[in-house]
Structure 1
Amino acid sequence: MSRSVATKALSRSYTGERTLTFLVGLLAFLGGALALVVGFGGLGEFRGRRPLLDPIALEWLGSHATPARIAAIVLGVLLFVLGLRWVVRSLRPEPRPDLDLDRTEGAELVVTAAAIAGAVEADAAQLDGVSRARVRAVGSRTSPALRVTVWLHEGTDLKAVWSDLDARVLTRARESLGLASLPTAVRMELDTSPAKRVR
């Protein structure tokens, strides 16, 4: 499985959040670095000794009070809306897409995300060495992906399970759904053995 395919199946479309966080962090870092350079006199002794709130800037703001207030209010509202949108996007449940197998009017055929996940989960749980499995269908209706977690019995051959999962389970799912590719992220864990009672 290629890195891009695994990333698509694993990520929950955090690109926007990561980009915004990176940009905010970068701006904060550059602002702090500039303040340090100015404070240590890197741009001249005079600039390093000036107060944090520049008197020239304060004088300009005082002479243009109304436009400055309007700009501050607009900026504050914009930041509030962007922050609210960011929070809502981050907290919303991840979509579990249904797959349209046939869009012919009157003969539509849709496979639900739960049915896809249930079928792959049942197949994966029957593999030798697998004690249980959990599958989630993620992505979009046009480009679905799977997240598969399998729990293995102690002493199971990892390569054999991986080979069976790829050759039998995932290939069957891809062929059954008529997909050329089905990006899948697979996580394998060792199942915890039941605790033994000491008498």
Structure 2
Amino acid sequence: MRAVLRGVNRVLIGVVGLLLVVLGGSVLAVGLGVRPPAWWIYGGPHDVLLGVARRTRWRETGWWWPTVIAVLAVLVLLALWWLIAVLRRRRLAEVLVDTGDGEGALLRGRALESVLTDEATRLDGVAYAQATLTGRRGAPKARVRLRMEPDVDPGTALHELITEPLTHARESAGLAALPAEVRLKAVKHRAERVS
């Protein structure tokens, strides 16, 4: 699901960016004296985007301007929400390690992710592993994706993941708990012709 959202996000950013470049470039070109096509929004450098006739056309109807303002406000709020969602970090940058002296130390999140990934990859029957840390630095959460060989029991693989890599990570970082979301997927082998 995240891959789909990431793809949609990139397409939307690309389309909006392209639209803004085309519109901004056309406004600049017309302002510098390039003659626009007859169907274009405005005709020259001294033309306005909304003339008096267009602005006052709906003046008698009381719903027009409140509707326009409401739609523009919703678009601004959606754009702000989108910007915050894009800028928000998905991964945990650092983990607060309790050193026992009341001070604490900071461990890079990528380092702990790398160790989790390496240990999970070494488990029996695991073809591929990826670990990601989310949450707060004092209370991290792990997301682990495992691609399993077809003949491996998922329950056994999950038990090994919990008792080995996740327990090692929790103990080495001095965490009281390390909740984890684990996704298991089977490797799909292509059929081969036997002669």
In 2: Cα distance, 1:125 partner to 1:88 partner: 35
Q: Is the 8 A contact 1:96 1:140 kept in 2?
A: no
Q: Report the Cα offset of residue 172 of structure 1.
A: 1.4
In 2: Cα distance, 1:186 partner to 1:128 partner: 16
Structure ranking higher in helix proportion: 1
Is 1:175 aligned to residue 171 of structure 2?
Answer: yes
Which residue of 1 is the match for residue 126 of structure 2? 130
Please tell me the residue identity of whatever aligns with 2:109.
A
- Unpaired runs of 5+ residues, structure 1, are 1-9, 12-60
Which residue of 1 is the match for residue 10 of structure 2? none
In 1: Cα distance, 2:111 partner to 2:72 partner: 44
Is 1:89 aligned to residue 84 of structure 2?
Answer: yes
Q: Is the 8 A contact 2:131 2:145 kept in 1?
A: yes
Question: Would the alpha carbon gap of residues 102 and 161 (structure 1) be closer, same or farther in structure 2, given more than 3 Å must change?
Answer: closer
Please tell me the residue identity of whatever aligns with 1:81.
V
Matched residue SS, 2:177: coil
Q: Report the Cα offset of residue 76 of structure 1.
A: 4.0
Which residue of 1 is the match for residue 25 of structure 2? none
Question: Would the alpha carbon gap of residues 131 and 72 (structure 1) be closer, same or farther in structure 2, given more than 3 Å must change?
Answer: closer
Is 1:80 aligned to residue 75 of structure 2?
Answer: yes
In 2: Cα distance, 1:194 partner to 1:173 partner: 35
Q: Report the Cα offset of residue 139 of structure 1.
A: 2.0
In 2: Cα distance, 1:62 partner to 1:188 partner: 62
Q: Which among 140, 143, 147 is matched to residue 144 of structure 1? A: 140
Which residue of 2 is the match for residue 116 of structure 1? 112
Question: Would the alpha carbon gap of residues 76 and 164 (structure 1) be closer, same or farther in structure 2, given more than 3 Å must change?
Answer: same
Normalising by structure 2, what TM-score? 0.57
In 2: Cα distance, 1:189 partner to 1:94 partner: 26
Q: Report the Cα offset of residue 192 of structure 1.
A: 2.6
- Unpaired runs of 5+ residues, structure 2, are 3-58
Runs of 4+ in 1 over 4 A off after TM superposition: 68-74
Please tell me the residue identity of whatever aligns with 1:139.
G
Q: Report the Cα offset of residue 153 of structure 1.
A: 1.4
In 2: Cα distance, 1:163 partner to 1:186 partner: 11
Aligned residue pair count: 136
Matched-pair identity in %: 26
In 2: Cα distance, 1:113 partner to 1:165 partner: 19
Q: Report the Cα offset of residue 189 of structure 1.
A: 1.0
Matched residue SS, 2:144: strand
Matched residue SS, 1:149: strand
Q: CA RMSD in A?
A: 3.3
Normalising by structure 1, what TM-score? 0.56
